[in-house]
């Protein structure tokens, strides 16, 4: 009888030729969504996760600005892991809540306010960040965002914010969405957009209604 031998995948450990401690065991993992390289201890179930960033002219001065996501723990005040137990969903949610995360957005514009997106502890940062162009006619681009809640629900809220002359972020409007249903092609405007400008200070948008269906609304932004 023939025996088959299955060879496992050989993982090549590339040791740097310098003086790395021989007993230091670590695994380099690559977040497949982004090329973020994380070096964790073997038993570590945490994943640092990505931080979003977005460019646009948010203060309308003609120069491109960048907005950066920040996800810190209120306990330490430092950037922290977005996933604290990648092997157990419930434990992960519990650990996130205990970690007291705060999601923020900051800008590379001098003296601009850091925007506190949320201090609600059951969240894993900003789930979507997009430049909506100038919707209210003040020359600056508006920002759209969604929070990534650490829950099993697809219900969420789409927020539109603008940077005021005082360099503070101010919400212009928000509407309810369903993270999966709203982003199906047939439910988007022109098959692409959750909202679009239709006139001076005016948008139309697709929202998720109380009757669990997609509705279309119009809004004049103040
Ligand atoms: Ca600018
Ligand atoms: Ca604007």
107 C-alpha vs ligand 2 centroid, how far in Å?
16
Q: What's the domain range around 127?
A: 44-220
- pTM here is 0.80
Ligand nearest to the CA of residue 169, numbered in listed order? 2
What's the pLDDT score for residue 3? Answer: 46
52 domain residue, yes or no: yes
Rounded to 5 degrees, what are φ and ψ at 21?
Answer: -60, 135
What protein residues have CB closer than 5 angstroms to ion ligand 1?
57, 59, 61, 63, 65
CA separation for the pair 182, 80 (Å, rounded): 30
Rounded to the nearest angstrom, the distance between the alpha carbon of 81 and the centre of ligand 2 is: 33
| Residues 84 and 96: beta-carbon distance below 8 Å | yes
**Count of domains for the chain:** 1
Instruction: Give domain status of residue 33, yes or no.
Output: no
CA distances from 115 to 28, 106, 203 (A): 33, 6, 24
Residue 198 is predicted with a pLDDT of: 97
Q: What is the pLDDT of residue 17?
A: 39
**pLDDT at residue 21, as a whole number:** 42
Task: Indicate whether 8 belongs to any domain.
Answer: no
Q: Which residues contact 35 (CB under 8 A, 6 or more apart)?
A: none
pLDDT of residue 33: 52
Judge whether 161 lies within some domain. yes
Q: Ligand 2 mean position to 133 CA, how many Å?
A: 7
Q: In the prediction, which pLDDT does 39 show?
A: 54
Compute, in angstroms, the gap from residue 104 CA to the centroid of ligand 2.
20
pLDDT along the chain (222 residues), means of 10: 42 39 46 53 84 98 98 97 95 97 97 97 97 97 98 96 97 97 97 97 96 96 90
Domain membership of residue 39 (yes or no) is no
Residue 31 lies inside a defined structural domain of this protein: no
Report residue 69 as tokens: 């996501």
């Amino acid at each position: 009888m023939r025996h088959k031998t299955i060879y496992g995948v050989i993982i090549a450990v590339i040791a740097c030729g310098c003086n790395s401690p021989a007993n230091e065991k670590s695994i380099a993992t690559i977040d497949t969504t982004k090329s973020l390289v994380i070096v964790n201890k073997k038993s570590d179930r945490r994943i640092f996760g990505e931080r979003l960033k977005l460019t646009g002219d948010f203060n309308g001065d003609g120069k491109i600005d960048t907005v950066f996501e920040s996800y810190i723990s209120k306990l330490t005040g430092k950037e922290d892991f977005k996933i604290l137990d990648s092997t157990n969903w419930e434990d992960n949610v519990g650990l996130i809540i205990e970690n007291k995360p705060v999601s923020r957005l900051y800008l590379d514009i001098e003296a601009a306010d850091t925007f506190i997106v949320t201090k609600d502890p059951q969240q894993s940062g900003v789930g979507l960040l997009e430049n909506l162009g100038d919707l209210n006619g003040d020359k600056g681009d508006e920002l759209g965002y969604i929070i990534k809640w650490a829950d099993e629900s697809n219900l969420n809220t789409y927020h539109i914010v603008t940077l005021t002359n005082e360099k503070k972020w101010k919400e212009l409007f928000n509407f309810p969405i369903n993270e999966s249903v709203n982003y199906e092609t047939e439910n988007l405007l022109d098959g692409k957009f959750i909202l679009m400008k239709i006139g001076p200070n005016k948008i139309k948008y697709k929202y998720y209604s109380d009757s669990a269906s997609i509705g279309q609304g119009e809004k004049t932004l103040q």
